[in-house]
């Protein structure tokens, strides 16, 4: 099992940037898919980005070119660099993890269904 704790949320004006972090602890022997999803009030959960066990990444269409997901070498910290933020990016952001399957690539839309998730961190973008 893994434990996930997010940090770095806050309030920013449109066009600004924020960097979210997710500290992972627990199982350090296995590889995991790591990703971010978000949920705004009254809306469905939305997969934002995912990083696979082989290091490849993919993004939801709404954040491509603006957000960057990364992981440190020890795979203990996951980050999400968010640039050119828009009011529609306002949401609770969650870090999530799923046990990696060799040769299988995860898509961003699957991240909300990952087995492990953190408590979330709020991001608010004002116009």
Tokens representing 104? 């299988």
Closest C-alpha to 122, from 23, 2, 39, 35 = 39
At residue 45, the 3 state secondary structure works out as coil
Q: Is the pLDDT of residue 112 over 80?
A: yes
Confidence class for position 8, pLDDT limits 50, 70, 90: very high
The string of pLDDT tens digits covering residues 63-109 is: 999 999 999 877 789 999 999 999 999 999 999 999 999 889 999 99
The string of pLDDT tens digits covering residues 10-34 is: 999 999 999 999 999 999 889 999 9
């Amino acid at each position: 099992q893994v434990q996930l704790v997010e940090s770095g949320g806050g309030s920013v004006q449109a066009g600004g940037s924020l960097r979210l972090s997710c500290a992972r602890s627990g199982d350090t022997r296995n590889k995991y898919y790591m990703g971010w999803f978000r949920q705004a009030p009254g809306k469905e959960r939305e997969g934002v980005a995912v990083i696979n066990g082989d290091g490849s990444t993919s993004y939801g269409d709404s954040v491509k070119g603006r957000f960057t997901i990364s992981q440190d070498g020890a795979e203990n910290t996951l980050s999400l660099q968010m640039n050119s933020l828009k009011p529609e990016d306002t949401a609770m952001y969650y870090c999530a993890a799923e046990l990696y399957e060799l040769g299988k690539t995860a898509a961003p839309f699957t991240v909300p269904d990952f087995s492990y998730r953190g408590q979330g961190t709020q991001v608010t973008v004002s116009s």
